[in-house]
Structure 1
Amino acid sequence: MQREFLEGLSDQALRALPYLFDFWALPHQLPPEDAGQWKTWVVLGGRGAGKTRAGAEWVRSMVEGSGPTDEGRARRVALVGETFDQARDVMVFGESGILACTPPDRTPVWESGRRRLVWPNGAEAKLFSAHDYEGLRGPQFDAAWLDELGCAAVDKGTNEPNRFLDPKSSESSLPKHSTGARDDLIQMQYLRAVSEFWSDAGNNPVSDVYGAQMIDTGRMFVWAWDARPYPWFPADADVWGDGENYARGHWLNGRVASRTLNGVIRSICASQGIDDIDVSDVRGLVRGYAVEGGASAREALQPLLLAHGVDAVEREGQVVFRTRDGLVGETLETALFARDEGEPVLSRTRLADAEVSGRVRLTYVEADGNYEARATEGIFPDEVTTGIAQSELPLVLTGGKARSVVDRWLAEARVAREGATFSLPPSSGVRAGDVVTVEGADYRVDRLEEAGARRVEAVRVERGLYRPFVGTDTFVMTQPHVPPLPVWAEMMDLPILRPEAVPDAPWIAAVSEPWPGEVAVYSSIDGERWSFETSLSRRAVMGVTLNDLPAARVGLWDRGPDLYVRLAYGTLASVDDMSLFAGGNVGVIGSSDSLDREVFQFRDAKLTAPETWALSHRMRGLRGTEGIMPEIWPAGSTVVVLDAALRQVVLPSEARRLERHYRVGPATKPVDHPSYIGFTHMARGVALRPFAPVHLRLAVDGAGAHHFSWIRQPRIDGDSWTLAEVPLGEASERYRVEVWSAGTLRRANATSAPVFTYAAAERVADGVTGPYDVRVAQLSDLYGPGLEARININD
């Protein structure tokens, strides 16, 4: 039918058909049929819904007549965008803009100097910026095409309300001067300011043509309310790919129920009959707050004020609430201080370290998700005490906000340990809550005593403590369904890492996102009959390297380039030297083509990108693994942090060096479920392997004999400094000594002492006439030869 219709059209009709929008348009792109019954038509849709094309075609329908020079229904049209550039680039020159939609014989002329389009019939459309709303007053437009009203929930979003973050969009950017922090409050305040402005009759005059206000405030539409169910959107990333944009986007879902902090304070005070208050200097957002019945105003307000850093002070009988910002109001000269007899002009105090907690834990109600109780903790890097200052707030917070509260508490406590006491003359205007500068330091006045002179007690403050949180909040999913998905598992032969470890048992670690809760490990000799070995209840901290890691000297800091690791799960943290030497931050690294893993430690861990950490100040080749360290661990090598998530698979001793089949998957599913991954592994009992001897040296006597000596390196209990000699670690002391020359084994000896003599006559008999290598390995009754120490002789 469509083909027949097109074949029946003339050439001229076919040329005109692409410009007949009524023929091609989707139903939502066409205006209401009865044009006399509506004043405002809202096109509501997501990106790609055709909103711009619908607007451009509607403008055409308003200004164009039957012929190119015939008059249409409108002579003057306003095109309003957030900025002039956006109106021009989207409404006029955009892919679906007016110029792209208009046929050649009706194309308007763009007059850039006058910012307008002029049609052949004399109709014109003038461009305006939402910032220059006064310009809309005079021309008395017949019609207007406007962009949506909205502001992203991002720091300084009101600087450029139409800006949004979307990695898939070429227009993705932050508003000017924005830190990129999530800020639901600024979105709320923007909408309130716009609504209040246009509700003022002085800003919204009544038209003498149609007898109504210029802006119908009852039909103001805000971008964006999403039809997708909250909180599954934005949390369910498996279904919707734009959920990561929510935190700093325009969405109203999940935000409209929040209230401003000053509004909540006002409500609490009003409920207690306290009306004479000032909350004009209070900033903050309350997502949810529980007040116990019968609580006084002080009890109800204290958690709110504590969390948001708000002070309540008295000013001429009025209670004034002020958000702490550290801004200095006055600089005081000590020469003007009142002098009390026997008292110093300025007394400074400093609390002892033991009186200041360097570790804070906050329990709160987690925003979004299931609104469960959560805890976050902060600690100073140099904190050595074990005491924790704990607080529980009946307050709904995002994870980022909770962390910022803890960080501010810690910083305030550290700075406020310093205090100052001084007296001011009665004429001084300093009041409680003010921030003053005294001898180059800033103090907040916490207490004033009026007794002739004004006695001041103040604590140190720093303005930087009150900067807003800049991190990114992770959205919380409501009771997610965890499907039985495959996990990433690594089976590893490692040295003895814990005293209780089984020496010849391999270790296994697994991780997945989402985590199925518990992971089962099965083994089989033939791949048919499976037996349960162990289960993993925790995800391991595992990842892959993003750059090469060259070999390094053992026993010295590896200060080479940072090793970048992208983790599949988990976080890392830096430690101090003492914690490192006590066994902190231990990991193993290995590649797919290597059976062995190198044990290493890292002191510093820095988050450089999402899930990506830079590891530096490393200690390499630990627990005897210097003997297997390659020239380079290539990018793509696996890194596993050694923690309680790892488990051993205990096998009978006769299973060592025999290949076994393994299947690993969700413990709630049978071993033959498709979610299980399978692999083979040969346990070699690496923990029984002797370490390479150290300090292999050569001495030459007068007869030309080469005398070699070395020191054994024990694999068990070798770190004690109180022993006269390192432990043997084996049933008997035996070594294998090999001489290699020109790539050929020339001699193999066994010795029961850490010495070997290679006489000149023996070298001649072995045909060693040039450079040669000596390789020494300690022997184990359970494992055989261990790792080798090597020395090259070239004399």
Structure 2
Amino acid sequence: MKSPNQKKPVAKLTSTSTPCGSQLGAAWIASAAPRVQKDFLKELTEDELRALPWMFEFWAMEHQLPPDGDWRTWVILGGRGAGKTRAGSEWIRQMVEGSRPKMPGRCARVALVGETLDQAREVMVFGESGILACAPPDRRPHWSATRRQLTWPNGAMAQIYSASDPESLRGPQFDCAWVDELAKWKKPQEAWDMLQFALRLGDSPQQLVTTTPRNVATLKDILARDNTRSTHASTDANRANLAKSFLQDVRAKYAGTRLARQELDGVLLEQEEGALLAGANLAAIGDSPQDNWEIFQFQSADLVAPGRYGLSGRLRGQLGSDAIMPAQWPAGSYFVLLDGAPQQIELPASGRNVVQYFQIGPAARPYSDYSYRKLSAAFAGNGLRPYAPVHLVEKRDGADLEFSWIRRARLDGASWDLAEIPLSETQELYQVKIFSGANLLRQEQVHQTQWRYSAAMQALDGAHGPLELQVAQLSESFGPGLFRKHGFTI
């Protein structure tokens, strides 16, 4: 972005498709003072004024501009009307146009792949933001309906293909490709695979994917690759070019829904609620101690920067970890996706709290290899630890206090059809503690899910003011589980 002290953000124009370093130039000039705007236009030559409407780098929004660096695939994730098609058309222009109408560009053989031939033609070629609409008059390609082909004045050609017919991509070869709305293809993996085999011309063929995101395995696999770069924008980012009533109506109708997050915000929603409740997207977060981990699930993982994701729709404190989870984990905590790759270490009862020694490294290399590192750790066997009770409530009966709770089960307790929560232990036993600040006033063991703190006990304990009750289930093999806490006042 140029500063107001510079004369103009556009140099002498020799090409209408080659980046000129004026990214977001229109946004800058639109926000400049009227005098700066006037001076900017006054200093342009007639040729520059004629070329300016076709200089996409000047008018583009940030998500519409190709990422820097070495990449094979660029994915634009965006809401409806976010400017994805315009970005695709302009990127094809940038790849095929030369500095003069008949001079060669970087690419000469292009694949345009839509869900169907009709959609590829009507959106990517003839659409309001399609290639023909974005082409300057002297660089406008010719459309051959019989061949389904665009031909530029410099000889570059682009052929349209249907993702519904993956085999049509077997045989031809390309040096770049534009893929539109991949997330709604009927055969995404088959069509994508065939395109990869065909993208083999030139020194470094590249491809652009423009799509409204959906929870499609092919799209997620593409995004996860090291040679993929992505940009993102919501529908609101392009509101200046959309009907005001459209945004008002759809926001009013779909606000707060998953459909709005996907279709308007352009967010890749990972799991439906049913899948989430069935145990999908399980992860662990914690810091250095071996027993300080929270297990949670998440519904969506939104890419916010390269290698960084924002997780939303979380179900926290799963598998009994709710009693130890903090309000917020500190920066630098470890995150582990429990996708089946991490396996639980077998630990005999005699090995609990005994230091274990491990060597960690590539399985294909010997333990003596330099890549192996050593780790020593002692584990409490938290898989045996009883879960903290839930629904801990108090009821006053005169001066007495009646506390009750509901036990939880480590094993076979997830079904909604159970008449009673399974015990999971050899006997039902709980440890009850009363604290005044850090001082332990009373500790008892009870065999049922309730306990009365009588007025006599209170007097004997000298209990007054703010107090805290703690309850944990006892296990013969582990001892007390995690404590549930409840504050009260006498």
**TM-score tier (shorter):** 0.5 to 0.7
Aligned residue type for 1:725: E
Q: Alpha-carbon deviation of 1:755?
A: 1.8
Amino acid at match of 2:372: Y
Residue of structure 1 in register with 2:370 after alignment: 674
Question: 1:727 offset after TM fit, Å?
Answer: 0.7
Could you say if the C-alpha distance between residues 181 and 713 of structure 1 is closer, same or farther in structure 2, counting changes exceeding 3 Å?
Answer: farther
CA distance in 2, matches of 1:472, 1:653: 40
CA contact (8 A) 1:710 1:755 kept: yes
Q: Is 1:585 matched with 2:285? A: no
**Which of 694, 707, 715 does residue 402 from structure 2 map onto?**
707
Distance 1:789 1:308, change over 3 A: closer
For structure 2, the residue ranges without an aligned partner over 5 or more in a row are: 1-9, 15-43, 49-54, 70-84, 126-143, 151-162, 215-222, 229-255, 257-266
1:189 alignment partner, one of 97, 116, 121: 97
Task: Output the CA distance in 2 between the equivalents of 1:718 and 1:605.
Answer: 29
Deviations 1:623-652 (A, max 9, x none): 211100113211221222211221222233
Q: What CA distance in whole angstroms lies between the structure 2 residues aligned with 1:792 and 1:619?
A: 25
Give the residue type in structure 1 aligned to 2:482.
L
Q: Does 1:746 align with 2:426?
A: no
TM-score by length of 1: 0.36
**Aligned-pair distance for 1:709?**
1.6
1:646 aligns with 2:349: no
Specify the alignment match of 2:484 in structure 1: 789
Give the superposition deviation at 1:609. 1.6
Distance 1:667 1:321, change over 3 A: same
Of 757, 762, 767, the match for 2:457: 762
When residues 322 and 686 of structure 1 are mapped into structure 2, their CA distance, relative to the original with a 3 A threshold, is same
Deviation, 1:670, is 2.2
Query: In structure 1, what is the Cα distance between the partners aligned to 2:164 and 2:336?
Result: 30
Residue 326 of structure 2 aligns to a residue in which SS? coil
Q: 1:572: how far off?
A: 8.0
Q: Is the 8 A contact 1:694 1:712 kept in 2?
A: yes
> CA offsets, 1:401-450, max 9 Å, x none?
4855xx69x9xxxxxxxxxxxxxxxxxxxxxxxxxxxxxxxxxxxxxxxx
Q: Tell me the SS of whatever aligns to 1:193.
A: coil
Tell me the CA shift for residue 719 of structure 1.
Answer: 2.1
Corresponding residue SS for 1:648:
coil
Contact persistence 1:181–1:472 (CA under 8 A): no
2:120 alignment partner AA: G
Q: Does residue 199 of structure 2 align to residue 397 of structure 1?
A: yes
**CA–CA distance in structure 2, aligned partners of residues 745 and 754 of structure 1:** 21
Contact 1:709–1:754 under 8 Å retained in 2: yes
Give the whole-Å Cα distance in 1 for the aligned partners of 2:99 and 2:335: 49
- Contact 1:598 / 1:622 at 8 angstroms: preserved in 2? yes
Letter of the 1:705 counterpart? D
Q: Mark the CA change 1:668 to 1:793 in structure 2 (over 3 Å): closer, same or farther.
A: same
How many angstroms does 1:186 deviate by?
A: 3.8
Counterpart CA distance in 1 for 2:283 and 2:66 is 40
Instruction: Render the CA deviation track for 1:721-755: whole Å, top value 9, x for unaligned.
Output: 22221111111101111121242112211111112
Instruction: Give the Å deviation of 1:763.
Output: 2.0
Q: Which structure 1 residue ranges, 5 or more long, are not aligned?
A: 1-81, 87-127, 133-154, 168-176, 197-249, 261-283, 287-301, 313-317, 325-358, 411-470, 477-556, 558-570
**Given the superposition, is the C-alpha separation of residues 379 and 310 from structure 1 closer, same or farther in structure 2, using an over 3 Å criterion?**
closer
Aligned-CA RMSD value: 5.0
Matching of residues 399-414 of structure 1 within 5 Å:
401=207, 403=209
Structure 2 counterparts to residues 527-676 of structure 1, below 5 A? 574-592=270-288, 595-676=291-372
Return the letter of the residue paired with 2:388. Answer: A
Pairwise mapping of residues 337-486 of structure 1 onto structure 2 (< 5 A)?
A: 379-380=183-184, 390-391=190-191, 393=194, 396-397=198-199, 401=207, 403=209, 475=227
Displacement of 1:689 in angstroms is 0.7
Q: Does 1:687 align with 2:383?
A: yes
Is the 1:736–1:778 contact (alpha carbons within 8 Å) kept by the matching residues of 2? yes
How many angstroms does 1:193 deviate by? 2.8
The offset of 1:393, in angstroms, is 4.0
Match of 1:666, SS? Answer: coil
For 1:677, give the aligned amino acid. Answer: R
1:732 and 2:427 matched: yes
- Asked if the contact 2:302/2:310 (under 8 Å) is kept, the reply is yes
8 A Cα contact 2:286 2:292, kept in partner: yes
Aligned AA (2:101):
A
Write the distance in 2 (CA, Å) between the matches of 1:781 and 1:709: 22
Q: State the Cα deviation string for residues 465-484 of structure 1 (Å, max 9, x = none).
A: xxxxxx999649xxxxxxxx
Q: Does 1:772 align with 2:467?
A: yes
Give the drift of 1:304. Answer: 13
Q: Which residue of 1 aligns with 2:242?
A: none
- Counterpart amino acid of residue 98 in structure 2: Y
Shift of 1:620: 1.3
- Contact conserved, 1:771 with 1:793, CA < 8 A, in 2? yes
Contact 1:706 1:757 in 2 (8 A): yes
Cα 1:475–1:165 change in 2 (3 A) is closer
CA contact (8 A) 1:310 1:323 kept: no
The residue number in structure 2 matching 1:309 is 120
Give, as a single letter, the amino acid of the residue that structure 2 aligns with 1:574. E
Deviations 1:267-312 (A, max 9, x none): xxxxxxxxxxxxxxxxx359xxxxxxxxxxxxxxx99995993599
TM superposition shift of 1:598: 1.0
Partner of 2:483, secondary structure, is: strand
Structure 1 residues 16-165: aligned runs within 5 Å? 83-84=11-12
Query: Quick one: structure 1 residues 718 and 165, their matched pair in 2 at CA, closer, same or farther if it must change by over 3 Å?
Result: closer
How far apart in 2 are the matches of 1:630 and 1:366? 57
Shift of 1:605: 2.0
CA distance in 1, matches of 2:368, 2:46: 63
Contact 1:83 1:129 in 2 (8 A): no
TM-score, length basis structure 2: 0.56
How much has 1:178 moved relative to structure 2? 8.4
Change (3 A) 1:309 1:380: closer
Secondary structure of residue in 1 paired with 2:387: coil
Cα deviation, 1:668-702, whole Å, max 9, x if unaligned, reads 32223222233222222212111111122222334
SS in 1 for 2:275: helix
Distance 1:762 1:638 in 2: 45
Q: Give the C-alpha shift of residue 662 in structure 1.
A: 1.9
1:670 and 1:783 map into 2 onto residues whose CA distance is 36
Conserved in 2, the CA contact under 8 Å of 1:365 and 1:396?
yes
Q: CA–CA distance in 1 between the matches of 2:199 and 2:100?
A: 22
Shift of 1:396: 1.2
Deviations 1:346-372 (A, max 9, x none): xxxxxxxxxxxxx9795878999xx9x
Amino acid across the alignment from 1:193: P
User: Residue type of the partner of 1:737?
Assistant: V
Structure with more contact order per residue of length (Cα contacts < 8 Å, sep ≥ 6): 2
Name the SS for the 2:404 alignment partner. Answer: strand
SS of match in other structure, 2:101: helix
1:31-60: CA deviation from partner (whole Å, max 9, x where unpaired):
xxxxxxxxxxxxxxxxxxxxxxxxxxxxxx
* 2:413 aligned residue: 718
- 1:188 to 1:778, Cα distance in 2 relative to 1, 3 A: same
